[in-house]
Amino acid sequence: MARRSSMLLLLAAAALLAVGAGAAVPPSCERIECPAYDVVDNANGFEIRRYKDAMWVSTAPIEDISLVDATRSGFLQLFKYIQGKNAYNETIEMTAPVLTRVAPSDGPFCVSSFVVSFYVPAKNQADAPPAEGLHVQKWAGARYAAVRRFGGFVADADVGKQAALLDASLQGTRWAAAVSDGRKADPASEYTVAQYNSPFEFSGRVNEIWMLFDTMAASDM
Ligand SMILES: *[C@@H]1O[C@H](CO)[C@@H](O)[C@H](O)[C@H]1NC(C)=O
């Protein structure tokens, strides 16, 4: 009996801790639709999420030296898409975040390859309009994300630093191997930057670095 109630206490404490330590859902997601996820773990400096299967719309790879510039030009294409520049002439609600996947490029030194994506809102998931030059597809591959949050406007000088901090916070945890395997399995992706605010919001901005991975080992953790 005593043992059972102390077990309950422990569970209650764990639940409280989970709430206290875990980053809350980004505030933008209370105003606009965001893809659903479960928090699988959180600890000092990172959160592990499992995303549900969903349709996303993505640009073709954009070669650039600047993530900020590539995101701007990718965002513009996606913005036209939701404004009705698609095969159904259908306007679509804005969602968050805007994702920018960063990958090494075969091109000149210092150039990276960026793919910018939007989550398709639930209403359009079943029949998302195709569009010339864009890929509308189920999120391929990894369903898990190791996430680190940071504020302010994303700057090219910061993202590598934030990715390195996320990497460091994962070292020695039970997720380190899975995340590292995820990166080896998908050499096309170093990390992904998620931005939750429009350029016109100056305070309370939320950004995240994601490292995507998918592992059988993770499902039984
Ligand atoms: C979309 O708009 C264009 C230009 O106005 C028109 O030619 C086309 O038939 C429209 N398509 C649909 C599916 O409504």
Ligand 1 site, residue 89, Cβ cutoff 6 A: yes
Work out how many domains the chain is built from and give that number.
Answer: 1
The per-residue pLDDT of the chain, averaged, comes to 86
Residue whose CA is at the smallest distance from ligand 1 atom 5? 89
From the CA of 127, how far away is ligand 1's center (Å)?
17
The reported pLDDT for the residue numbered 13 is: 47
Q: What secondary structure letter does DSSP report for 132?
A: T
From the CA of 99, how far away is ligand 1's center (Å)?
29
From the CA of 45, how far away is ligand 1's center (Å)?
48
The reported pLDDT for the residue numbered 152 is: 95
Backbone torsion region of residue 110, taken as left when φ is above 0, otherwise alpha when ψ lies between -120 and 50, otherwise beta:
left
Ligand 1: nearest atom to the Cα of 87: 13
Query: Between 67-82 and 156-170, two packed helices, what is the crossing angle to 10 degrees?
Result: 100
Q: Which residues contact 143 (CB under 8 A, 6 or more apart)?
A: 50, 51, 52, 53, 214
Write out the residue range of the structural domain in which residue 193 sits.
2-220
Residue 192, domain CATH? 3.20.80.10
Query: What is the tens place of the pLDDT at every residue in 87-100?
Result: 999 999 999 999 99
Q: What is the average pLDDT across 27-44?
A: 92
Of the listed ranges 6-15, 31-40, 129-138, 165-174, the least confidently predicted one is 6-15
Residue of 51, 54, 104 lying closest to 214 (CA atoms): 51
Query: What is the tens place of the pLDDT at every residue in 196-216?
Result: 998 888 999 999 999 998 865
Query: What is the tens place of the pLDDT at every residue in 55-84?
Result: 999 999 999 999 999 999 999 999 999 999
Residue whose CA is at the smallest distance from ligand 1 atom 2? 89
Residue of 215, 77, 91 lying closest to 142 (CA atoms): 215
DSSP strand E in 78-206: where? Answer: 98-104, 112-119, 134-138, 144-150, 191-195
The reported pLDDT for the residue numbered 214 is: 81
CB distance 173 to 143 below 8 Å:
no
CB distance 207 to 193 below 8 Å:
yes
The reported pLDDT for the residue numbered 187 is: 67
Q: What is the pTM of this model?
A: 0.85
From the CA of 81, how far away is ligand 1's center (Å)?
14
Q: Is 4 strand, coil or helix? A: helix
The H-assigned helical ranges of 83-141 are: 122-125
From the CA of 62, how far away is ligand 1's center (Å)?
28
Which of 88, 89, 132 has the most ligand 1 atoms within 8 A of CB, as the residue to mutate?
89
